[in-house]
Amino acid sequence: MTSTVPASLTRTAEGSALQAVLLDMDGTLVDTEGFWWDAEVEVFKTLGHVLDETWRDVVVGGPMTRSASFLIEATGAAITLAELTVLLNDTFEKRIGRGVPLMPGATRLLTELAAHEVPTALVSASHRRIIDRVLASLGPEYFSLTVAGDEVTRTKPHPDPYLLAARGLGAEPARCAVIEDTATGVAAAEAAGCRVVAVPSVAPIAPAARRLVVGSLEEVDLVFLRGMMTRGH
């Protein structure tokens, strides 16, 4: 976990129940879900296997250990999980080396949160080496804290990453708004007790208690997030 602003400096916006905003990375802030699939296809091609396109929905949004384990079992590839993880990270890192495209509305939202001094954390299932590379495109100055998938014992869909982020920002999970794009991430955030804004990137996500679903980050701003926290659902 990397923190750029001490938790003691965090504060709640006056008149709002919102204490912090916690954001997923891949597919939420940056358009990289396709990059991961392309990297997986490339790696398995070198191993002599062709990935079935239907597997894409199975592996998207999950921690690498789960996705990689599934693909090893599905293909029967003669490679260990540890070896495959290194290959996938290396291949993905090469693909994002020239920068990554941001999702529509991402820069505007991050800029607004920073302008209003809302404590903000990046919470990703990606490994630290990948997060640090993507931050060069996103802007590390927007985040008080970042949590990587290889820095927690249990990553998404377990609540641990979001509980760690909330604690690091000095916020109550119930007063944190989480923005996620996959069912795996949504499950992690809800298990942590957070309110969730789902912005589906690949597979649909249904509305539910304590969860709002929008089509794009362009529909999300600080007024939206504060209002969500006070709704009785």
The model's pLDDT over 45-60, given as tens digits with 9 standing for 90+, comes to: 999 999 999 998 788 7
Place of tokens 């909330």: 166
Residue 10: predicted pLDDT? 37
Residue 232: predicted pLDDT? 59
Residue 124: predicted pLDDT? 95
List of the chain residues with pLDDT < 70: 2-16, 61-62, 232-233
pLDDT 10s digits, 168-208: 999 999 999 999 999 999 999 999 999 999 999 878 999 99
CB atoms under 10 Å from CB of 49, counted, come to: 18
Residue 32: predicted pLDDT? 84
The model scores a pTM over 0.75? yes
